[in-house]
Amino acid sequence: MIPSPSSRRASRPARLRRIAIAFVALFAATGWLPTASAEPQAIHRIRWFFSDAVPGRAAPGTGIPFTLPMHWTSGAQSGLRAVSMQGGFILTQVPTGTWAVLISGSSEGGTVFVNGHFVGAVPAETAMRHVAWHRPWLFAVAPSDLIAGDNQLQIRTRYGPGAHALAGITVGPLDPLWDRYTRAEFFATTWSWIGAATALFAAVVAFTIWTQRRDKVSPLLALASGFWLVHAAARLIEVMPASAQAAAEAAYAGGYAGFLAVAAIALLRWRHPVPRRVEWELVAAVAAGTGLLWFENLLDFPSIGDAALVNLAAPIALGAWAAVAIRSFVQSAHDAESAKEDLENRVREREQLLKRNYERLRESERLQAQSHERQRIMQDMHDGLGSQLMSSLMLVERGGVSPDQFAQILRESIDDMRLAIDALAAEDVDMAAALGNLRFRMEPRFRAAGVALSWDARTLPAEIPLHPDMVLPLLRIVQEALTNALKHSHARAVRVTLAATPGEKPDTGWLDIRVTDNGQGIAPDRNAGRGLLNMRNRAQKIGAQLRIDTEPGRGTTIALRMRFEKDATAGLRMRTTAPLNTQAIIEQVRRANPPTGSGAS
Amino acid sequence: MSTDPISIIIIEDEPEFRRRFAQIIESEPTMRLAGVAANKRDAQALIDREHFDVMLIDLGLPDGTGIDLIRSVSQKKPDVDIMVVTVFGDEQHVVSSIEAGATGYILKDSTPADVISCIRLLRAGGSPVSPVVARSVLRAIRSRMGAAGSSVGAVGAVSRASNTESNPLSGRETEILQLLAKGMSFNEIGEILGISPHTVTAHIKKIYRKLAVHSRGEAVYEASQMGLLRS
C-alpha cells in the first residue's frame, strides 16, 4: 500500500492486517465469496463433442467428460474445429422469475442453448476472424425454457489453433447473477482500460523525466509502462482479423513478459544495481521462459479469478512507483531548500567576516596613516622649531643677548611653529600654497631688518602636486636659505624665484626654487660648512637636487630642483578622507555573484 | 569717520595678555578701552551694558567658547568689528570665527603696532588676511556649495563654480582669494587687478561678511526646511 504518515507510525502487524483485508475485499469483488442466495448453481462438468450438430439434449454417457475450469490447445495444422460443450443442472421446480446463465471467462464465444432453446450468442472464431474474449457473458433464460428436473445447457462454438479456456458456467436467478456479472465485468474490462491509461500516463511521465534528467531508472520505467500498455491493448482487442492473431498473442505475451523483465531491472537499478551483463541475463531468462511457454501453448489466457490479480498487478506496481517518485521529489525539494538556506547562511557569515576584515583593514590603515603623520610632525619639530630653539638657547647661554633680541628670537620660534602648523594642518597640503605662506611669514622679518625681499612666482601654477611628506622638508630648506640670507649674508636685497616647468612625461614637472642674495657670500668656515652639509643632506633625503653657488663678496645663490607628478598625492589622500562604505562593497560583490537557488544539484 | 576715539572691549582670560592688550590700547590716544572681561558671563554683562566699536575676543574662555558671543554680537550689533585673538591663525579657529561673524583676527603675539594698525584697518572698512586664511575661506565656500570630491586645492573647484548661482562670491572676490592664497601681497594684487590695496582689504571684509551671512543663511534655510521657522 502507498505509505501514508499515519501508517508509518502503525505497527507491522497492523499494517499487514490492513493489506490482508484489502486483498480479501478484492477477492470478494471477484465474486469468489458465496453470495446470500444459494440458488445459483455452478456447472462443474461438461461433455465434449467434436461437432456442433449435436442435439440440445444429448444422450447421457456420450461425449468426452471434462471438468471446469478447463484449458485446451489446438495445433496449427488442425484448422477450425467445431465443438459442442454440454453440461447439466437439476431444478426441483420451474422457477417463477427470470433466470440467467453466467459464462465467466470463455475465450471462444459461441451460441448458447438451454434445453435446446436459443439463449444467446457471442461472435465466435471463423476463417477470417479470430476471437479472444476476456469478459464474462450473461444471458437471460425464460422460465418457459426450463423444466423441473435435469436441464441441459449447450455451448456450440468453433476454435482455431492456439490456447483456449472455459472458466465457469453458473445458472441461477437473474438478480444475483447480474451482480456477479457486473463485478466480474468491471475487473475484466474496466480495469484493463484503467491499466492501459495508467500505463500510458506513466510511460509519458517517465519518458519526460528521462529526457530532462538522463538517469538510469526512468527510461526503464517508461519502457516497462510501454510493455504493459502493449499487453493491455492486446487484452482489450478481443475481435481481430485472423491474420492478426499471432501478432496479438505475441503482444499479449511479450508485453507481459517485457513488463516483468524491465520492471525487475528498473527496481534493481534503483536500489541494488547489478552489472550490465546480469541485467541482460535476466532479460534473456524472462524472454526464454516466455518464449518456451508460448511455443508450447502453455500460456494461459487467464480466467476471471487470475485476471483480477494480474490486471491489478501492473497499475499497483506503477502506483507504488509513483508514490516513490513523489516521495523522492518532495525529498529533493526539501533538500534543495535547506541547501539554499544553508548556502545563504554561509554567505551571510562570509559577508560578516568580510565586513569585519574590511573594517579591521581600514582601521589599521587609519592607524598607520596617523602614525605616519606623527612621524612627520616629529621630524619637522626636530628640524624646524627644535633646531631653532636649540640654537637660540646656545645664543642666550653664550650671553650678550638683549631682551629685545631675546623677544625677537622667541618671535621667530613662534613663527616657525606657525609655519609648521600651516603646512601640517591643511587637509590638502600644496607646495604652492605653502610657499606663499612662507613668504607671508618671512616678509615682516625682512621689512623689520630693512632688507628688500622680492618674490617672483609668476610662472608658478596654482597647485603643485607634491607628496605631503616632501612639502614641509622642502619648505624648511627654503626657509633656512632665506634665514641665512637675512642673518648672515648682510645682503640688502634677496630675490626668490619660483618656477615650474613641464617634464618629459605627461603630468610630470620640475619645481625650481632659487634664492639669490647680493651679500658677502658664504665663507668656507666650519659652521657654515656644517650648515650647508645639513642642507644638502635634507635635500637628498627628499630627493631634491641642491646647488649652491657662492663667492666671497659676490653673493650667494641657492638653487633647489624637485620633481613632481600629477597623482602623487592621490593614494595618500584616500586614507584620510571618505570612510570606506563596506555595505556598498558587499552589495556590489553580491550582485556580481548571485547565489544559485538549486543548491541540491 | 567719527573723531571720537575708537571704543574697544577686551575679552581675554589670560591676565598677562589681557594686561598687554589693555596697555596697548590705553597708550594710543585715538582709542579708548571700554571694558575688559575674563570669562563668558562677565563678557555678556559687559556687552549688554556698554556701547563699543570693536570687540577683541579670545576664543578659549574658561566657561565656554567665545564663538557664541561672536555670533550674538554680530547679529545684535552689526556695526561692531569683531577681532578674534588666535595663537596659530589656523584655519579651524579663524574660519569658524568668520562664519560666526568675526571681521578680523590678530595673532596673540602681535606687536603693539600690529594691533593698532589692525584695529585701524577694520575701522577703515578692511579686514586682515593671510594665505592660509584665504585658502581656508575658499575651502569653506567650496564645502558649503557641496562640490563633490576633493581636488588638490580648494582653488580649482571654486574657480570652476564661480559663475554658478550657488557661489556667494563674485568673480573678482574669488580671484582675490586665489591670488592671496598664492602668497601675493596687496600691492601685487592691486597691480594685477588695477585697484588700490585698500580696495583689496575692503573686498576681504565683504567676503568675510558674505561667508557669515551664507553660513547663517544655511542655518535659516535648514531650519525652515525642517519647519522650525515660519516665513
Residue A572 CA from chain centroid, whole number: 46
Q: Which of A499, A498, A556, A561 is nearest to A532 (CA)?
A: A556
Sorting pLDDT into bands at 50, 70 and 90, what band is A20? confident
A376 or A547: which leads in pLDDT: A547
Q: How many residues does chain B have?
A: 231
Report CB contact under 8 Å: A433, B182. Answer: yes
pLDDT band at B225 (very low <50, low <70, confident <90, very high): low
> Cβ contacts (< 8 Å) between A571 and chain B: which residues?
none
Query: Rounded to an integer, what distance in angstroms lies between the CA atom of residue A62 and that of residue A56?
Result: 13
Q: Of B91, B150, B183, which is closest to A457 when you measure between CB atoms?
A: B183
Starting at the edge strand that comes first in sequence, how are the strands of the sheet with A508-517 ordered? A452-456, A493-502, A508-517, A555-565, A545-551
The chain B residue lying nearest A415, using CA atoms, is B88
* pLDDT exceeds 50 at position A307: no
Q: Which residue of A has its CA nearest to B109?
A: A411
Residues of B in CB contact (< 8 Å) with A are 88-92, 107, 109, 130-132, 135, 139, 150-156, 178, 181-185
The per-residue pLDDT for range A523-574, each reduced to its tens digit, is 777 777 777 888 888 898 888 999 998 888 888 999 999 988 876 554 343 3
- The sign of the dihedral angle between the CA atoms of A544, A549, A550, A553 is negative
A414/B153 Cβ within 8 A:
no
Tell me the pLDDT band of B73, cut-offs 50, 70 and 90. Answer: very high
Q: What pLDDT band is residue B163 in, cutting at 50, 70 and 90?
A: very low
Task: State the pairing for strand pair B81-86/B64-65.
Answer: unpaired
From the centroid of its chain, how far is CA A575? 43
For residue A353, give the 3-state DSSP assignment. helix
Closest residue to B152, CB basis, from A417, A421, A465: A465
Instruction: Give the pLDDT confidence of A263-305 residue by residue, as tens digits.
Output: 888 888 887 888 889 888 888 888 888 777 766 655 555 444 4
**Contact: A440, B91; criterion CB under 8 Å:** no
Nearest CA in chain B to A410: B109
Q: Which of residues 531-570 of A touch B (CB under 8 A)?
A: 569
Question: What residues of A are in contact with residue B152 (Cβ under 8 Å)?
Answer: 428, 430, 463, 465, 569
The residue of chain A with its CA nearest to that of B181 is: A433
Distance from CA of B89 to the nearest CA of A (A): 8
Q: Which of B91, B107, B182 sits opposite A436 (nearest CB)?
A: B182
Q: In whole angstroms, how far apart are CA B122 and each of A19, B21, B201?
A: 111, 17, 9
pLDDT per residue over B21-50, tens digit each?
A: 999 999 999 999 999 999 999 999 999 999
Amino acid A576: pLDDT: 38
A-chain residues near B89 (CB < 8 A): 418
pTM of the model: 0.54
Q: Is A439 on the interface with B (CB under 8 A)?
A: yes
Q: Which of A428, A439, A458 to mutate to test the interface with B (most CBs of B within 10 A)?
A: A428
Distance from the B1 Cα atom to the nearest Cα atom in chain A, whole angstroms: 29
A440–chain B Cβ distance below 8 A for any pair: yes
Residues of A in contact with B153 (CB under 8 A): 428, 430, 432-433, 462-463
Record the cell numbers describing residue B104, joined without a space: 578680523
Instruction: Give the residue from chain A lying closest to B89, CA to CA.
Output: A418
User: So what's the pLDDT on residue A380?
Assistant: 80
Please report, for residues A10, A334, A348, A360, the alpha-carbon distance to residue A341 in angstroms, rounded to integers and kept in the order given: 33, 10, 10, 28
- CB neighbour class for A214 (10 Å; exposed up to 12, middle 13-18, buried from 19): exposed
Residues in A closer than 8 angstroms to B130, CB to CB, are: 437, 440
- Is residue A427 less than 8 Å (CB to CB) from chain B? yes
Look at A384 and B10; give whichever has higher pLDDT. B10
Mutate to test the interface with A, among B108, B132, B184, B191 (most CBs of A within 10 A): B132
A417 CB neighbours in chain B (<8 A) are 88
| Residues of A with Cβ-Cβ distance to B107 under 8 angstroms | 418
Average pLDDT, chain A: 82
Contact B182 A460 (CB under 8 A): yes
> Are B183 and A436 within 8 A, CB to CB?
yes
Q: How far is CA A579 from CA A427, A569, A582, A587, B152, in A?
A: 15, 18, 9, 16, 18
Using an 8 Å Cβ cutoff, are A423 and A434 in contact?
Answer: yes
> Would the CB atoms of A428 and B150 count as touching at under 8 Å?
yes
- Closest approach of B221 to chain A, Cα-based (Å): 26
Statement: residue B4 has pLDDT above 50: yes
In total, the C-beta contacts within 8 angstroms joining chain A to chain B are 73
ipTM of model: 0.78
Amino acid at B157: A
Distance separating alpha carbons of residues B125 and B201, to the nearest angstrom: 8
Residues on chain B touching A411 (C-beta within 8 angstroms): 109
Query: For the ranges A235-239, A286-290, A588-592, B88-92, which has the lowest average pLDDT?
Result: A588-592
The answer to whether residue A572 neighbours chain B at the CB level (below 8 Å) is: no
Partners of B160 on chain A (C-beta within 8 Å) are none
User: Strand locations in A242-354, DSSP E?
Assistant: none
Taking each helix axis as running N to C, give the angle between helix A218-236 and helix A191-213, from 0 to 180 degrees, rounded to the nearest 10: 160
* Contact in structure between A494 and A453 (CB atoms under 8 Å): yes
pLDDT at A600: 39
A265-279, A377-391, A536-550, B203-217, range with the lowest pLDDT: A377-391
Closest residue in B to A461 (Cα–Cα):
B182
Q: In the block, which residue shows the cell 588676511?
A: B129
Nearest CA in chain A to B154: A428
Q: Which residues of B touch A433 (CB under 8 A)?
A: 131-132, 135, 153, 181-183
- Closest Cβ opposite residue B183 in set A428, A439, A577: A439
Chain B residue numbers touching A430 (CB-CB < 8 A): 152-153
pLDDT band at residue B206, thresholds of 50, 70 and 90?
A: very high
- A460's CB contacts (< 8 A; 6+ apart) are A432, A435, A498, A499, A500, B182
Cross-strand pairs, A46: A66, A87
Q: Do the chains contact at A436 and B181, CB–CB below 8 Å?
A: yes
Bigger pLDDT: B96 or B145? B96
Minimum-distance CB partner of A436 among B90, B91, B131: B131
Nearest to A462 among B109, B182, B185 (CB): B182
- DSSP state, A569? T
Tens of pLDDT, residue by residue over B50-65, are 999 999 999 888 888 8
Of A116-120, A284-288, B201-205, the least confident: A284-288
In this complex, the residue of A411, A433, A569 whose CB is nearest that of residue B131 is A433
Closest CB to B153 among A411, A428, A438: A428
Q: Is the pLDDT of residue A459 over 70?
A: yes
A177, A102 contact by CB (below 8 A): yes
Highest average pLDDT, of A472-476, B77-81, B108-112, comes from B77-81
A490-518 pLDDT, tens digit per residue, is 889 999 999 988 888 877 888 899 999 98
pLDDT at B195: 92
**Over the stretch A22-73, which tens digit does the pLDDT of each residue have?**
877 876 665 555 444 447 888 888 888 888 777 777 777 788 888 888 888 8
